[in-house]
Amino acid sequence: MALLEVENLRTYFYTRAGIVRAVDNVSFTLEQGETMGIVGESGSGKSVTCYSLLGLIPRPPGRIVSGSALFGGVDLLSCPKEQLRRIQGKRISMIFQDPMTSLNPYMRVSDQLVEPLLVHDRMSRSQALTKAIASLEEVGIQDAANRINLYPHQFSGGMRQRVMIAMALISRPEILIADEPTTALDVTVQAQILELIRQRQKDLGTAVIFITHDLGVVASFCNRVNVMYAGRIVESAPTDEIFNRPMHPYNASLQQSIPALHKKGQALFTIPGFPPDLTVEFHGCPFASRCAHAGDICKEQDPALKQIVPGHKTSCIRFQCGEIADVRSKNFVSAV
């Protein structure tokens, strides 16, 4: 049985400008110990998906309209608040994008680190502190016994993200949700943090949901990838298949947009147009208006994820009925 089974998750925001369908019918499963990537551009609903699982959607205006998320027999989306709270930070932990604002500036690092142990394991403070110091050492912070007494502003960005990781993993969770954990960091620190997450994951056997918009990170880090667009998963496949056999034009265009594949002096590939306005209800494929392969059917029929080969699903209607085989954009001049 899968560790986490999310089905038909819909999270809407009821704003003055209308209903924003931030997550629209998302389903996926997470196996024990695996690393699953969720890729997509800003506003594609990747973060909201994960916030929904942990009850972190601000309500109002947000509301989980439908769906279930089964985790060890408990539906995270409908279970009582108290039951969810005992899972948060204990069995499912989360690290966030901006380590500068995600730690409490008014509390010592020590007080924040021991909190999951005090809250969930009813450990004594001295015991928890010993464990917290050990956990800081495990994420590569030297002189942890002294530094633990500092405040977050006395740490650098990379160090703060290490503290976040130590805090998230201190209770040995079964799932770690990492919401763009390296986006706010500079490149050299990014690599260190990624390596650290990988290392800790190996040590603890934690499953990781890795949210990012960086395909390079996905390629080196994840076993399986879900590509999200306009609040839906448009393609889901093992990592090498996502890159070598793309089955959705959006995924292919994303990869074609990576500047590294281009020769110097050549115009960069861009996806024309903008993502759809999620407050407007629409029919058909949300990517159709920007897609080089779109036909009439794409605007009429609502797409659904279908498995093409075992483990590889796409929501591209024309690919599903075999009308196109190569989803890459034709206007892309191969530079390789």
Partner 1 sequence: MIKVIVGRLLQLIPVLGIILTLTFFMSKVVPGGPFSAERQATPEVIAKLNAYYGLDRPLWEQYLTYLGNVVRFNFGPSYTYQSESVNEVIARAFPISLQIGTLAFCIALIIGVTAGVVAAANKNKLWDYFPMSLSMLGICLPTFVLGPILALVFGLVLKLAPVSGWYGLNYVPFHPMIMPAVTLGLFYAAYIARLTRGGMLDILSQDFIRTARAKGVPDHEILLKHALRGGLLPVVAFLGPAFAGLISGSFVVEKVFNVPGLGQEFIKSVFNRDYPLILGTVAFFGTLIVLFNLVSDIVQALLDPKSRK
Size of interface with partner 1, in residues (CB under 8 A):
28
Contact flag: residue 93 with partner 1 (CB under 8 A):
yes
CA 274 to chain centre: 22
Contact flag: residue 123 with partner 1 (CB under 8 A):
no
Q: How far is CA 143 from CA 150, 159, 258, in A?
A: 11, 12, 40
Name the residue nearer to partner 1 (CB basis): 63 or 86. 86
Q: Do residues 11 and 22 lie in contact, with contact meaning Cβ atoms separated by under 8 Å?
A: yes
- 41: which 2 tokens? 């551009």
Residue 311 dihedral angles phi and psi, to the nearest 5°: 85, -5
- Written as one letter, the residue type at 216 is G
CA distance 32 to 71: 11
Residue 40 dihedral angles phi and psi, to the nearest 5°: 170, 165
| Smallest gap from residue 326 Cβ to partner 1 (A) | 42
| Smallest gap from residue 117 Cβ to partner 1 (A) | 10
Question: What DSSP string runs through 132-155?
Answer: HHHHHHHTT-TTHHHHTTS-GGGS
Q: Taking CB under 8 A as the criterion, which residues in 102-121 touch partner 1?
A: 102-107, 115-116, 119-120
Contact flag: residue 167 with partner 1 (CB under 8 A):
yes
Q: How many residues does the chain have?
A: 336
Contact flag: residue 131 with partner 1 (CB under 8 A):
no
Contact flag: residue 96 with partner 1 (CB under 8 A):
yes
Please name the helix (run of DSSP H) or strand (run of DSSP E) that holds residue 216, with its range, or none: helix 215-221
Name the residue nearer to partner 1 (CB basis): 115 or 241. 115
Diameter of the chain by CA atoms?
A: 67
With CB under 8 A as the contact rule, which of the stretches 94-102, 251-259, 307-315, 320-328 interacts with partner 1? 94-102
- 278: which 2 tokens? 């999620």
Contact flag: residue 307 with partner 1 (CB under 8 A):
no
Q: Do residues 175 and 114 lie in contact, with contact meaning Cβ atoms separated by under 8 Å?
A: no
CA 77 to chain centre: 18
Candidate residues 19, 65, 79, 86; the one interacting with partner 1 per rule CB under 8 A: 86
| Smallest gap from residue 122 Cβ to partner 1 (A) | 13
Q: Coil, strand, or helix at residue 235?
A: strand
Name the residue nearer to partner 1 (CB basis): 176 or 215. 176
Candidate residues 5, 41, 75, 98; the one interacting with partner 1 per rule CB under 8 A: 98
Name the residue nearer to partner 1 (CB basis): 103 or 141. 103
Within a 10 A sphere around the Cβ of 85, how many other Cβ atoms? 14
| Smallest gap from residue 303 Cβ to partner 1 (A) | 32
Contact flag: residue 4 with partner 1 (CB under 8 A):
no
Residues 37-76, one symbol each (x = binds partner 1 by CB under 8 A, - = not), give -----------------xxx--------------------
Chain residues in the site for partner 1 (CB under 8 A): 54-56, 85-90, 93-94, 96, 98, 101-107, 115-116, 119-120, 151, 153, 164, 167
